[in-house]
Amino acid sequence: MLNKVPEVTLSFWLIKILSTTVGETGADYLAVNVGLGTLMTDAISACLLLAVLVWQLRQQRYVPWVYWLTVVLLSVVGTQITDALTDGMEVSLYASTAVFSLLLATVFFLWYRRERTLSIHTIFTRQRELFYWAAILFTFALGTAAGDLATDALGLGFRVGVLVFGGLIAAIYVAFRCGANPVLTFWLAYILTRPLGASLGDLLSQAPEYGGIGWGTVNTSIVFLLVIAGLVAVLSRSSSPASSQP
């Protein structure tokens, strides 16, 4: 296989943040507005993710539409997992943040122990791809828990949450430009895009009395999905097989 992950460019980060926002607003819409019940909507989302993930695994190279559809569905399911623990099982956000941090660290440990690299420029074997998608799922679940912990439990609010997480990502970028380890800075930024996207999604979709702008989950999800579709369409026209450099 050729490398199955896109090059890390500005468009990569834009689509990633947009997809995390859709994950937050989409999960909220499914939980509140669809009316099928939490268990049924979670099961449908999981089945869709499984089908698209199998489709992604069958590809022999990076295909923008398939890859980013997988990311969006992982964002939705990762959010639903955290929401199920918090709302359904009443697990504290402190506990869920700690548990998902441990699970993500375990995936990274096993991945590195087996492959001796965590670089996304070397995702050209089935085993590395499975490790990669497992890590992505836990980054979404962890980011959701950490974002909710910061904006709700710690009382930062949506606007401050956007500024805080955006500032942390900017600091990581500065560290990267100053010579920090590129693999470490990538994964730290990747994790933080989830709470940034979640805070942005809540800021745009929630009613003003709850600290939001009031667009609603439907409008926010549609707008962001259209932007994602436009960016992916551009990438699809101009993309070539991703680099497989180590």
82 touches 145 (CB < 8 A): yes
CB atoms within 10 A of CB 52: 18
Label residue 198 by pLDDT band (50, 70, 90).
confident
Tokens of 105: 């660290």
**Bridge partners of 144?**
none
Question: Mean pLDDT over residues 16-20, rounded?
Answer: 90
**Which amino acid is located at 95 in the chain?**
A
Label residue 245 by pLDDT band (50, 70, 90).
very low
Q: Can you say how many angstroms the Cα of residue 6 is from the centroid of all Cα atoms in its chain?
A: 15
DSSP label at residue 211? T
Alpha-carbon dihedral 226, 78, 82, 224, rounded to 10 degrees: -10
Q: Is 242 helix (H, G, I), strand (E, B) or coil?
A: strand
User: In the chain, what are the domain boundaries?
Assistant: 10-238
Alpha-carbon distances, residue 41 vs 10, 61, 77 (angstroms):
33, 31, 10
Mean pLDDT of the chain: 88
Tell me the pTM. 0.88
